[in-house]
Amino acid sequence: MKNNYLRLLLILIPLVIYLSFLSPSIGAGDSGELVSSAYTLGIPHPPGYPFYMILGRVFSLLFPSNPAIGMNLLSALFAIGAVLLLFQILLDKGFKGAISFIPALLLSLHPLLLKNATISEVYTLTAFFFLLELLLLKRERYQLLSFIVGLSFLIHPLLWIVGTYLLYRIIKKDYRYLLYSLIGFSIILYLPIRSIADPLIDWGNPESPGRLLAHFLRLEYYRGVFVPFSLSVVSGELLIYFKILIRDANFLLILIPFAFIKEEREYLLLLLIYSFPLALLLHFEPGRLNLEANRIFFLPQIILILILSVNGLERLNKKFLPIGAVFLISVFCLQSYQERLFIRSWTAPDYFSTVLEQTEDVVGDRHAYPLHRDTDGENEGVYIPVIDSRGDALTFPLLYAEVLTKRIRVRVNTPGLKIHIEEPPDYSTYWDEKFRFYDRVLFAKEKNGIKPWNFYIRQGRKDILEDELYIKALTHYAIYLHNKGNISSSLVILKRAKRLAWLNQHLHTVASAYIEIGKYEQSVDILRTIQREDSDYPGIYHLFYYSLTQMGESEEAEGFLSYGLLTQDDESLLNDAGAYYAERGFINVAFLFFLKGVTKGVPNAGANLNKLIQEEILK
């Protein structure tokens, strides 16, 4: 009976917290893509997550005007389910309810679970299935375990590791149980069945066996990507792993040695596999960006540490157990507060609402759009703008806006995902030679008059993509204010963006904005900050060269140009080098740089080459 009260508390406490800070819509990461895919029964990025898509479709229909809320609730429910499973595993291992309650409550408050319990993501589902497999193994329910293992291979690749070990245990018990694994794995058929129907999001187009296998194995992410297994890279990965471990497990690590005393061999083995070997398997380029991006993949490690930590908690004196529990809870809550998890994030919905407002002109009581007239459906006869987009932070919220409102079309042209590629775009989320003019939060083909922009995009959680989206919006607004002649306010906004930037990619965005408004000294200061942390950061030598050239520091600019050409594959430097040699009369050398730029598809390289031929060679 006492354990039932504890279970009730493990439902109510997380439920109140998760609902209090549940995202009001999508987040800035994969959330927009996953909700859009589930709502339309599409196919998201590899491995496709068919089980999550089917469940997400059901929950998204609960809130048809904002499907993301339903899927956010789904994440919260699976997080609570994971907490209850952890509690039950510890009870089955023979620990008292009061002691088992502490790791379960800690899991519910851990930043990794808390963050993903309030947005549409696959990681609370992953945690739930991970713990469900451990519970079924503990209870020796091999038939059901076999089915869950087969299903889990389509939940998330993180479950492939424990799944492989469990398949070994199942075969050892009775190889005939593998039939249940095949039944669970058969959910993969969702991918070719839905791909044949050509949904809006049809990532990888997995209709044929070859494409289906490639999508399941995530081969798209390994094409053209090579990170050497050098001593410096491996040692860098090891350092990043330990930073993640200390940051997320912190004081729990003190309790792990007690697990060796109790000879928790099976869980210690799994902990070993989900530690540094996982970091080597992920094999990421060392750096702070990858530290943040790969942190979530060590969620199973945190779960195993919590399971093993109960051996240490059991040895605490009854007098000190509540003190230790309160201390650990306070540490996790402080971490969550520092990551701004105790807020409801509006950044992504504010962003796509701004785009919708920007791309429409209100005429009377109807909306008229620029160029593309919809020929069927509820928007027949209404002009629909096409927005060319790249990058997850900017693209996925717009995909959700398209699915939700049908008032825009998002053009995506990547190796794995192609949407509306036959339609010429009217706007773009990024600068290139076709879209060269800032038009509020987007880029336009022509320089339009400065239209009103009531900036209302709110800062969200501390997250790579969420902060990237917010900082990009801030820098665009600063440029908008500068173009309106409001210089002082523009500089105040950029100072704020610089203060909020905590990754080099954020600082790079701010430095580019300073260049856009002609503040080259500020840009160089930021670039030096990036260089001190990562001397090979992509694109900084182009910005160094341009800024220093504008400041009249030609000697230093030449040094950065030379170093960049020697050490980086930065295509922008080809234009820089071509212009540099053309100005000094080395026409043949300039011709070669511009020609190489043309072969690599560098923006403006063709125009520069044509100008060189017309003005220097043909004359």
Chain CA centroid to CA 310, Å: 33
Q: pLDDT for 520-570, tens place per residue?
A: 999 999 999 999 988 888 889 999 999 999 999 988 998 998 988 888 888
Specify the pLDDT at position 371.
Answer: 43
pLDDT above 60 (res 367): no
- d(CA 146, CA 133) in angstroms, rounded, equals 9
Contact present, 275 and 301 (Cβ < 8 Å):
yes
How do the residues of the chain divide into helix, strand and coil, expressed in percent and rounded to 5? 65, 5, 30
Question: How many CB atoms lie under 10 A from the CB of residue 474?
Answer: 23
Angle formed by the axes of helices 554-567 and 572-583, nearest 10°: 130
Q: Across residues 222-232, what is the average pLDDT?
A: 70
Q: pLDDT for 17-66, tens place per residue?
A: 999 999 999 988 899 999 999 999 999 999 999 999 999 999 999 999 99
Residues ≥6 apart with Cβ < 8 Å to 55: 38, 74, 125
% of the chain beyond a pLDDT of 90:
63
pLDDT above 80 (res 217): yes
Q: Could you tell me where in the chain the CATH 1.25.40.10 domains are found?
A: 490-570
Contact present, 39 and 57 (Cβ < 8 Å):
yes
Specify the pLDDT at position 361.
Answer: 55
- d(CA 358, CA 470) in angstroms, rounded, equals 17
Specify the pLDDT at position 377.
Answer: 52
Strand boundaries in 179-332, DSSP class E: none
Q: Which overall architecture, per CATH, does domain 490-570 show?
A: Alpha Horseshoe (1.25)
Q: pLDDT for 156-211, tens place per residue?
A: 999 999 999 999 999 999 999 999 999 999 999 999 999 999 999 999 999 999 99
What are the beta bridge partners of residue 412? 419
Specify the pLDDT at position 525.
Answer: 96
146-155, 378-387, 489-498: segment of lowest average pLDDT: 378-387
Q: pLDDT for 235-264, tens place per residue?
A: 888 888 888 889 999 899 898 888 777 767
Question: Which residue, among 125, 4, 135, has the nearest Cα to 54 in the 3D structure?
Answer: 125
273-287, 358-372, 470-484: segment of lowest average pLDDT: 358-372
- d(CA 39, CA 143) in angstroms, rounded, equals 32
Q: pLDDT for 110-129, tens place per residue?
A: 999 999 999 999 999 999 99
Q: pLDDT for 280-308, tens place per residue?
A: 777 777 777 777 888 899 999 999 999 99
